Amino acid sequence: MRTAADFDGVYAKPDPWGVAKEPRRDKKLARIIAPYVEGKTVLDLGCGEGHLTAAVFQGAAWVTALDISPVAILRTPKLLNARFAAIDFMSPDVSFEGYDVITALECLYYLSPEEQEAFFRKLSRQHRGTFIMSAPIIGREYFTHEGLL
């Protein structure tokens, strides 16, 4: 599953991942990530319907949030500090340059191993700032290197 049509099919149902029912996740991620994005420019990759974008990046100076699905982008919230766009972040037209922080929250596992390698090569060539990624938590336990949240 890696095309806009694939994801548009998933987004035919609002909130297909059930993230609106997971405010604890959003709060925990915001608590972890907020210090790294405060006052910074952020490129948020794979933003989906913008739930995490709205929850996590409130203190960012500016957020450019991208998702492959035009259907998902139509559902994103209106935020004063963000612009949402329907584009595949693997597109050669997407540059990783010029951002203080790039995030890939719960999205990189949709890439094939070859695409993941290409992504990290591009990231290492074009980005000199902070990179933050996350993956879903199985069992709903949230923790950092400092312990359970």
Does domain 4-12+39-137 match CATH 1.10.3720.10?
no
Of 12, 60, 24, whose CA–CA distance to 149 is shortest?
24
Domain chopping of the chain, boundaries: 4-12+39-137
**Model pTM?**
0.89
pLDDT tens, residue by residue, 1-51: 578 999 999 899 888 888 777 778 788 889 999 999 999 999 999 999 999
What is the percent of the chain where pLDDT is above 70? 91
Residue 137 DSSP class: P
Cβ burial of 58 (10 Å; 0-12, 13-18, 19+) is: middle
Asked whether the predicted pLDDT for residue 76 surpasses 80, the reply is yes
Residue 73 has pLDDT above 80, yes or no: yes
